[in-house]
Chains A and B, each alone.
Chain A
């Protein structure tokens, strides 16, 4: 428990770990690589890491089992899940499982990787702040004041079921804080179908990095909040009310709720 490193990357594919090591060290981060979960656990016993990147599909322990193992051992290193088989379930589980903070689907560019790493590090530190403010870690998400009746997909997005059977969708404030300064929102058009667990909008931050916003609920877009598009600052200021992104018609919200928390 002596040294503090930035990143631990875990993947049974060596080319992937090598590429991640290269990109991250070029950015000045300290990186270690592990071929499998057991090796990663050894690393985590001896060193501290600010963030871990872990593949989901691995022989022996898979990514989610690795998360459970971390939880069991009380290791609180936040983990970004990686997968080459990106399904809705993998995406949603990666956002909601204990210990996981984010999700990146392979293959990714160096910029995409760095964007996710930076955002996750910010999320982790924000969570840490809230923890040091006295809130239990498991409960950290609710550090963000999310109004009643809102359903959240982790810290990323929210959905509000309306009486008419429609739903409103928006971005959670922790996600906005983690992105830190949004230049513009790239939104989908009315009529398009959104799928839970798939990016439904892209937020470009001031430094030019693109952040996909994972959709909390299936549905067809009925209306896009033009105000949010023209004035990104509005979303940052009032993410839960005036800063909504879409009004959608969800065909089966009940099915989506199991992954959401309120």
Chain B
């Protein structure tokens, strides 16, 4: 458990690094310290050895052995010196601070001799470094430093009175001084201990600080975040992690809070739209089912109340029935009001953002895995002026429809958004049309492609009849019925007041035939030519001010598709194909919203292949 905690891991890592660094430091420190101490001792020993040599030189030359013995004994008595010896060439100890040793032979392999004698032929000369040796005579004793100082033959030696040394001899003997290293070893041990204590305390303090910092800056906020995540995972989306700092963990906590908030909003929205949908369904059901029996109750009771003049007791009771029934009526009415569409509140918005929000709402249904959502959203789309909530409702409706169309099978839904440019021709629906006497020419009973057509009466001699123009501006798919070929002798009239609808004195700039004209209230005159194959049309106010920028969103599924016969009725209320599942209002509401935004909605569908809904919203409303 402990080993798994990030705080422990971090502390352990830092301590291990510190341990390694301090150990290396301590090792080098002790090494350098002891080598400098040893150098010092070595220098001291050399000086000493030189001093002994020069001190005894005169006595040597005079061959005054007693004096030499005395000098060496005295020198050897000094505390800082272990012993002083002089060997002759054959390894015999001639003089020594330890009188017991005198006369003894030393093996050439002994620690004081092998430096020169190891190579077989004894060396004449030895480097300063090589003259020193550190050794331990036996296991218990402390270390010793020995320095050998060869005594070279010189003229004074072979010319001396004693004639002890022949002239050809190079090295006469060796002066060996050994100095105990007890003091130095004690110093080294002391500094080793000091470094160790330092290392241990540094590591202890460091690990404590690191542990504390990790706990304070990492462990605690992480624990708080974890606790927060547990809360949220447990479904408490109202939980917020306290943000106390500005570091990365603070940012993480903030992002976590943001995420939770967005999640809560999405859930609320889903809940809300779900609630609204069920409320709408409920209201429609209640209104229809309850209002009929309520009608009977209210009519009979109010009728009785009218007839019960003079019977005050009965009147009081009947009053209660009437007023309470009216109360019921108001409750049902408010339910319906609530479910009713509100006036759009338009603001600048990013269509992709709205799509994203709609997807977030139905994400749960998508996440079942059987439906794959493919997004192909255009970048840098112009912002549109829309009621974001209503447009979001449109996308939710279309996505839910797509999901329903896919049903229990697996399938995919593709949402595409892009900016497009379209002219008014074929895009704009003429919703109102008037004759010069302001009679409405739009006939809601006659529809072309599901849209109320523009009715006119033609007359040529005795021939007369009604024709219907396609209300989509620029479309030439008119219902001209039995109208004779278009020409100067054909008269077009308002079906109500018989005022002429032919533009006087004007001809089609394309084919020279007469042209018709009618007014769209507040939007100027629409003119056009009915000559076969011509199709010229003009709507000056729209042609000049038409804003051709649209954002197009396509919701495409590979579900069951819609039978061709049902497509014209698709956007009418209660035209549900879902049976009990739908209210039959979804697409009607969708159409209403898109229409409110001056947009268009179109459908392409093939049974068994899939359905696409194409929505176009003008960039400037």
Chain A residues within 8 Å of B, Cβ to Cβ: 11, 13, 15-16, 18-20, 22-23, 26, 57, 68, 84-89, 98, 105-111, 113, 136, 138-139, 148, 161, 193, 195, 218, 251-252, 254-255, 257-258, 261-262
| Complex CA–CA separation, A218 to B343 (angstroms) | 8
Q: Which residues of B contact A111 (CB under 8 A)?
A: 302, 306
Minimal beta-carbon separation of A118 from chain B (angstroms): 15
| Complex CA–CA separation, A193 to B340 (angstroms) | 14
| Complex CA–CA separation, A68 to B446 (angstroms) | 12
Digit string of B283-294 for contact with A (CB within 8 Å is 1, else 0)?
A: 010011011111
A107, B295: Cβ atoms closer than 8 Å? yes
Q: Is B111 an interface residue (CB 8 A)?
A: no
> With A87-B336, A136-B496, A262-B521 known to touch, is A110 a contact of B303 (CB < 8 Å)?
yes
Q: Is B438 an interface residue (CB 8 A)?
A: yes
Q: Which residues of B contact A195 (CB under 8 A)?
A: 340
Q: Which residues of A contact B573 (CB under 8 A)?
A: 89
B326, A18: Cβ atoms closer than 8 Å? no
Chain B residues within 8 Å of A, Cβ to Cβ: 284, 287-288, 290-300, 302-303, 305-307, 322, 325-326, 328-329, 333, 336, 340, 343-344, 431-432, 434, 438-440, 442, 445, 496-497, 521-522, 573, 595-596
Q: Which residues of B contact A85 (CB under 8 A)?
A: 284, 287-288, 291, 336
A109, B302: Cβ atoms closer than 8 Å? yes
Minimal beta-carbon separation of B429 from chain A (angstroms): 10
- Apart from A19-B303, A22-B299, A262-B440, what 16 extra A-B contacts exist at CB < 8 Å? A15-B293, A19-B295, A19-B299, A19-B300, A26-B303, A84-B291, A85-B288, A107-B298, A107-B325, A109-B326, A111-B306, A138-B496, A139-B496, A161-B522, A254-B522, A257-B432
Tell me the nearest residue of chain A to B305, going by C-beta: A110
Tell me the nearest residue of chain B to A90, going by C-beta: B573
Minimal beta-carbon separation of A88 from chain B (angstroms): 7
Tell me the nearest residue of chain B to A113, going by C-beta: B299
A257, B431: Cβ atoms closer than 8 Å? yes
> With A109-B322, A258-B431, A262-B434 known to touch, is A86 a contact of B299 (CB < 8 Å)?
no
Interface centre among B290, B300, B442, B595 (most CB of A within 10 A): B300
| Complex CA–CA separation, A192 to B373 (angstroms) | 44
Q: Which residues of B contact A252 (CB under 8 A)?
A: 343-344, 596
15 contacts between A and B (CB under 8 A): A19-B296, A26-B307, A84-B295, A85-B284, A86-B287, A88-B340, A98-B445, A107-B299, A109-B302, A109-B322, A110-B306, A113-B299, A218-B343, A255-B595, A258-B431
Q: Which residues of A contact B333 (CB under 8 A)?
A: 86
| Complex CA–CA separation, A262 to B521 (angstroms) | 9
Q: Which residues of A contact B328 (CB under 8 A)?
A: 107
B440, A106: Cβ atoms closer than 8 Å? no
Minimal beta-carbon separation of A73 from chain B (angstroms): 15
Minimal beta-carbon separation of B335 from chain A (angstroms): 11
| Complex CA–CA separation, A86 to B306 (angstroms) | 26
A251, B344: Cβ atoms closer than 8 Å? yes
A22, B297: Cβ atoms closer than 8 Å? no
Q: Which residues of A contact B434 (CB under 8 A)?
A: 262
Q: Which residues of B contact A110 (CB under 8 A)?
A: 299, 302-303, 305-306
